[in-house]
Amino acid sequence: MKNIQQFDVAIIGGASAGLAAALILGRSIRKTVVFDTGEPRNKPAAHAHNVFTRDGVSPLEILEIGREQLKVYPSVAIAQERVITAAKEAGGFRLETASGGIFIVRKVILATGVKDILPEIAGIQALWGSKVIHCPYCHGWEARNTSVGLIGNDDMAYHLIAMIYNLNKDLTIFTNGKCTFSAEQQAKLQQLGIGLIETPVTAVEDEADGIRIVLADGMVHHKHATYVRAARIEYHTELAVQLGCELDEAGSIKVDEFQQTTVPGIFAAGDVAHPMYHQVMAAATGGLRAGGMCNGQMSAEDFEK
């Protein structure tokens, strides 16, 4: 017979959003389980930035601090397990883990995150989060006033150029194939002296003082670092789909201003619930909001019994 455990809330995902939700629920004496597989999106990064009072601290250290602070609240448990199925049942939801555990809960918070699918260029994955970077807000200060590249060829890549140029006047755009920027956009790049190279990129290689961007024609460009536009973002929405939650056009879980999904009793927070603004503080804010709304709903339900 399988062991069945009951909780008020299950939080699926133990990074910034999930731990922030657990904190407010723990302080509200809600019996809460956090399922954590230990693979946050920002794990490759040495430092997290724009985190109030923790700027420059390792992302993994920030999560360790979060888990340590939860120990004060005995109603919160952290399970190093993966939830593989989720379904609605009378009065709540039924979750099953990869190890066969069964959990019956009143509310669910999905904080399952996303995965960056990078361009298929040799060396990109190994340097991701150090010398291959994606966000001027996360890494721009450290790379400021150096020679940098941007590998990208879409409207979002062009949108990044202005923010990168604010920090780095020595900037080269590698479109990795035929440029899709408009004639007006290309003219602007030329006016500012921003290089534009269409030759495919075959590799990004580490070197002592930066990186080597190797092109298909054998040319090599030496840069301090390069920004890269992910080929796409993969939203971890398998459980949301099982539960019947609606997704938006980008593929993230659709939520309202209170992090409530389209299915009552299910909330979503963090990167999986926001198609654009992926930052530690934003994720934690969403988790705090979701946890607070969970407790508010349960308090109202219990009060009216």
Assign a CATH topology to domain 4-115+233-303.
Answer: FAD/NAD(P)-binding domain (3.50.50)
Instruction: Give me the pLDDT at residue 257, please.
Output: 95
pLDDT digit string, tens, across residues 22-57: 999 999 999 999 999 988 888 888 898 999 999 999
**Fold match flag (4-115+233-303 vs 119-228):** yes
**What are the sequence ranges of the domains in the chain?**
4-115+233-303, 119-228
The low-confidence residues of the chain, meaning pLDDT below 70, are: 1-2
Please report, for residues 62, 118, 170, 262, 273, the alpha-carbon distance to residue 248 in angstroms, rounded to integers and kept in the order given.
30, 22, 37, 11, 9
Q: CATH class for domain 119-228? A: alpha beta
What is the DSSP pairing of strand 114-117 with strand 210-215? unpaired
Instruction: Give me the pLDDT at residue 3, please.
Output: 81
pLDDT digit string, tens, across residues 89-134: 988 999 999 999 999 999 999 999 999 999 999 999 999 989 999 9
Element (H, E) at 220: strand 220-223
> Global pTM?
0.93
Strands (E), 56-200: 76-79, 83-89, 92-97, 102-110, 114-117, 132-133, 148-151, 171-174, 195-197
